[in-house]
Amino acid sequence: MTSTRQTTAPTPKSRASTPAARGYAAQSATTPLAPFSFERRATGPRDVRMEILFCGVCHSDLHLARNEWGMTTYPIVPGHEIVGRVTEVGAEVKKFSPGDLAAVGCMVDSCRTCPDCKAGLEQYCQVGMTLTYNSPEKQTGQMTYGGYSDKIVVDQDFVLRISDKLDPAAVAPLLCAGITMYSPLRHWEVSAGDRVGIVGLGGLGHMGVKLAHALGAEVTLFTTSPDKAADGKRLGADQVVISKDQDQMAKQANRLDLIVDTVAASHDLGAYLSMLKRDGTLCLVGVPEQPHPPFHPVQIIMRRRSLSGSVIGGIKETQEMLDFCAQHGIVSDIELIPIQGINEAYDRMLKGDVRYRFVIDSGSLGAGA
Ligand code: NAP
Ligand code: ZN
Ligand code: ZN
């Protein structure tokens, strides 16, 4: 387990009532996450302040904590699958009141004026979205700190409503894993009878299987882990293909409409491209540290196949996904952990040993963190 040495952020020069916050931060690419004290901004007129109840653990948290994408500013407090209870709202906030359950995903702001923001696609903001952590915060100029912490203050336009009928801990992963899979499934208009492939049964992949199944698709799961096959079927896959088995892979040639690839490591895309029907699409959502090996253009030319990618989803679509999940009783399969177990959880995630999302019980931050 990690060192418990406490570090503290410099106090912002700002006004009164900036609430003290506790979290876990990485101080460098090679140090484990450890307790960290900082301050949240005071609740502005358009802000919602939440006590964080649960926060999912996304593979992106690990990539960023270890600076695998070369864009990390330290200290970093990861976490962008946040469910909490509203404790304070600004004077102009109409949509939320203290006591409400609420949620925050991967973004807390964007420019709001570019064509993409105006189209409700803030994740493609041309100026750049403000990420929930590791982005400069407009209001303070300091870096944003994420959900591995006890409270957060967010502009009301980037706060989501969640159903109180679902387990709030299992809802948390919908805020990144859920929307990242829902958005491409909707963009490529998946409906009953479509053949959808999901590559990788981790946090994103298991949500992809559940959502594609709920949309009526015939789902094929590709996994490197034979021991996940039974779970794949339980979660909604019609068939499971072990991706290390060449014979099983060859049988999939020319049969899928859409493949969503969640794998967090560099791998051969040609194998998946060859499984697409005419006009089919391979959509990448996994962001490995290293690029994928090249493939031959003939693999897309001959059947007019497309290779694409997708990043999370806009706020409107995230709300639509949360409402869809509430209607269909869809949540994530989770393993609840105390924050003190985060470094061990990262090690297990790297081995593909997560069934299927770790979620931090934020109450543990008060337990000697
Ligand atoms: P995860 O829980 O670790 O799942 C990744 C899965 O990929 C593993 O469970 C494993 O499934 C499979 N896999 C196959 N070969 C692997 C290898 N060599 N190393 C690691 N995994 C391998 O991760 P996640 O949270 O779902 O995230 C997946 C990727 O998506 C990450 O790169 C993350 O940064 C990225 N991401 C992108 C977006 C976006 O908006 N585009 C949003 C969130 C996350 P099997 O055991 O079934 O093979
Ligand atoms: Zn994520
Ligand atoms: Zn914009």
Please list the pLDDT of the chain residue by residue as tens digits (369 residues).
Answer: 334 455 666 544 444 478 999 999 999 999 999 999 999 999 999 999 999 999 999 999 999 999 999 999 999 999 999 999 999 999 999 999 999 999 999 999 999 999 999 999 999 999 999 999 999 999 999 999 999 999 999 999 999 999 999 999 999 999 999 999 999 999 999 999 999 999 999 999 999 999 999 999 999 999 999 999 999 999 999 999 999 999 999 999 999 999 999 999 999 999 999 999 999 999 999 999 999 999 999 999 999 999 999 999 999 999 999 999 999 999 999 999 999 999 999 999 999 899 999 999 999 998 643
Ligand nearest, relative to CA of residue 115: 3
How far, in Å, from the CA of 104 to the mean position of ligand 2?
12
DSSP states of 32-99 as a string? PPEEEEEEPPP--TTEEEEEEEEEE--HHHHHHHTTTTS---SSB-----EEEEEEEE-TT--S--TT
Tell me the β-bridge partners of 102.
84, 161
Q: Give the pLDDT confidence score for residue 9 in this predicted structure.
A: 61
Query: Residues with beta carbon inside 6 Å of ligand 1?
Result: 58-60, 63, 176-177, 180, 200-205, 223-225, 228, 262-265, 285-288, 310-312, 349, 352, 354
Q: Give the pLDDT confidence score for residue 7 in this predicted structure.
A: 64
Ligand 1 probe mutation, 262, 321, 335, most atoms within 8 A of CB? 262
Ligand nearest, relative to CA of residue 130: 3
Atom of ligand 1 nearest to the CA of 232: 47
How far, in Å, from the CA of 59 to the mean position of ligand 1?
6
Distances (CA, A) of 15 to 44, 47, 82, 144, 156: 11, 15, 26, 18, 21
Residues around ion ligand 2, judged by CB within 5 A, are 58, 60, 176
Rounded Cα gap, residues 167 and 324, in angstroms: 15
Q: Give the pLDDT confidence score for residue 367 in this predicted structure.
A: 64
Full-model pTM:
0.95
